[in-house]
Amino acid sequence: MYINGKHVESIGGGWFPVYDPSTEEIIAEVPDSREADVDRAAKAARTAFDSGEWPATTAQQRGRLLFKLADRIRNEAGKLAELEARNCGKPIVEAEMDIADTATCFEYYGGLATKVLGHVNPVPDNALSLSLREPVGVAGQIIPWNYPLLMSAWKLAPALAAGCTCILKPAEQTPLTALEMTERLDEIGFPPGVVNVISGFGESAGAPLVRHPDVDKIAFTGSAAVGKIILRNAAESIKRVTLELGGKSPNIFFSDADFEAAIDGALFGVFINQGEVCSAGSRILVERPIYRKFVEALAEKAKTIKLGAPLDRETKMGPLVSKEQYERVREYQEIGKREAKLLAGGGRASSFSKGYYVEPTIFADVDNGTRIAREEVFGPVAAVIPFDGEADAVRIANDSPYGLAAAVWSRDIFRALRVVKSVRAGIVWVNHMQPTYVEAPWGGYKQSGFGRELGPWGIEEYLETKQVYINLNEQPIAWY
């Protein structure tokens, strides 16, 4: 792993295996970092933030470093995409898009580094009142396994642009691309300690990072369950926290939607990246007049989705990331069978003798109160729910502890926009689901977390505001 500009083992000397989920074979071993390693990384990041080259770097210089990193990632996109696909099981075509988005994210924040503006505050006295923006300090960043390198960029790029130093902990299942990226940082010119990447487990590496007194901020993407633990652990030192958590996002189809586009949009919304997507449209809400026809067409088409090896260019769905996730999704397939009507899939993908493959699964006639409609599966399992009219759609859509994303499909723009305004979610698409852009804000309402990533909102989360008052009166204060 990468601490203070050097590739190091863990102090305790432990390692843990990393798997290819399509073969279930070990493809790498990485250091198992523990509290002492976290401490070493936190000290390195603290020192790099407080002294040395980094605090003296200009925004232009930080921007250029990010551009260089983006270039390196683009130049080696093929290799990185292959490593990503092998480690998380996603189709190579999707991994290539992720790596391109990763480079774009570093470029975007490379440009934004020089556009952080302060303020002149219009105070009524003969004074100049300013607001300065300063980096928040040392950022601890904890990410999940579904978009490993892209999530690393969403975290590192705005933090570095702002002038923070970082300790990134990738998910235990997928540390390889983030570690691979660190091979380039020294040569690009990042001073030691500015970026640290530690491989390890949530409880033994993530938790000490959250509690560490030298860490000023925690940026977390992951499950709501772990988000709650993080908030509690961050309380001790009043750390700044941003949380990007899960979802159970509604994808809402009105009768007047373009039918063919709707079927594709429903499948894409829930099955892209094996359904291992925080914004997955896992609740498919369909208006009653088209409901029967819709669920039949959906089930028919779901059965044609091509499962395969991650590196096969024809593959549209790979294996799930891990045995644990496979078992979790299999369990939800069984829960769904007890709660609703199974229309497609429902089990292991039987044509594979190895690998964590499950069938794309669709349940129909789902009651929004059931577990399959309320709990995040994080796999290719869709719950189709009928509704009667606009008010009913909005009521069901909002009846969830989550509020990350939603989509609405209709040719009636007035209705679509009324639904957009009524849905409590951080991201709402109209006549599409999932396009994500570094220029636009990303984050959730309700138990999907707080704070926003991407765009100018993303860098805000790594900035403090300092108020400065400059007295312009030359005479003494003359109060006493």
Binding ligand NAP (rule: CB under 6 A), the pick from 15, 16, 201, 457 is 201
Binding ligand NAP (rule: CB under 6 A), the pick from 103, 150, 166, 230 is 230
Choosing from 96, 172, 244, 376, the catalytic residue is 244
Is 171 a residue that touches ligand NAP (CB under 6 A)? yes
Is 142 a residue that touches ligand NAP (CB under 6 A)? yes
Considering only residues 414 to 473 of the shown chain, the ones binding ligand NAP according to CB under 6 A are 444
Closest CA to 247 of 39, 46, 446, 464: 446
Three-class secondary structure of residue 30 per DSSP: strand
Could you give the angle at which helices 288-302 and 259-271 cross, rounded to 10 degrees? Answer: 60
Considering only residues 236 to 255 of the shown chain, the ones binding ligand NAP according to CB under 6 A are 244-247
Binding ligand NAP (rule: CB under 6 A), the pick from 89, 144, 163, 193 is 144
Q: Which stretch binds ligand NAP (CB under 6 A): 21-29, 54-62, 189-197, 222-230?
A: 222-230
How far apart, in whole angstroms, are the C-alpha atoms of residue 90 and residue 68?
27
Plot region of 359 (φ>0 → left; ψ -120 to 50 → alpha; else → beta): beta
| Size of the residue set binding ligand NAP (CB under 6 A) | 29
How far apart, in whole angstroms, are the C-alpha atoms of residue 423 and residue 415?
12
Q: Which stretch binds ligand NAP (CB under 6 A): 94-102, 138-146, 312-320, 385-393?
A: 138-146
Binding ligand NAP (rule: CB under 6 A), the pick from 19, 49, 109, 378 is 378
How far apart, in whole angstroms, are the C-alpha atoms of residue 90 and residue 83?
10
Choosing from 88, 164, 166, 278, the catalytic residue is 278
How far apart, in whole angstroms, are the C-alpha atoms of residue 179 and residue 31?
11
Is 42 a residue that touches ligand NAP (CB under 6 A)? no
Q: Which stretch binds ligand NAP (CB under 6 A): 49-57, 76-84, 201-209, 406-414?
A: 201-209
Instruction: In angstroms, give the least distance from the CB of 222 to ligand NAP.
Output: 3
460 classed as catalytic: no
Instruction: In angstroms, give the least distance from the CB of 203 to ligand NAP.
Output: 5
Binding ligand NAP (rule: CB under 6 A), the pick from 91, 222, 355, 386 is 222
Kindly list the strands in the beta sheet with 119-121, ordered across the sheet, starting from the edge strand earlier in the chain. Answer: 119-121, 127-135, 463-471
Closest CA to 205 of 41, 3, 76, 38: 38
How far apart, in whole angstroms, are the C-alpha atoms of residue 57 and residue 177?
27
171 vs 394, beta carbon nearer ligand NAP: 171
How far apart, in whole angstroms, are the C-alpha atoms of residue 376 and residue 249?
9
Considering only residues 317 to 376 of the shown chain, the ones binding ligand NAP according to CB under 6 A are 376
Is 153 a residue that touches ligand NAP (CB under 6 A)? no
Is 16 a residue that touches ligand NAP (CB under 6 A)? no
CB 443 within 8 A of CB 148: no
CB 18 within 8 A of CB 176: yes
Q: 338-358: b or e for each residue (b if 16 or more CB lie within 10 Å)?
A: ebbeebbbbebbeeeeebbbb
**Catalytic residues, which ones?**
244, 278
Which residues in this chain contact ligand NAP in the complex, by CB under 6 A? 142-146, 169, 171-172, 201-203, 206-207, 210, 221-223, 226, 229-230, 244-247, 278, 376, 378, 404, 444
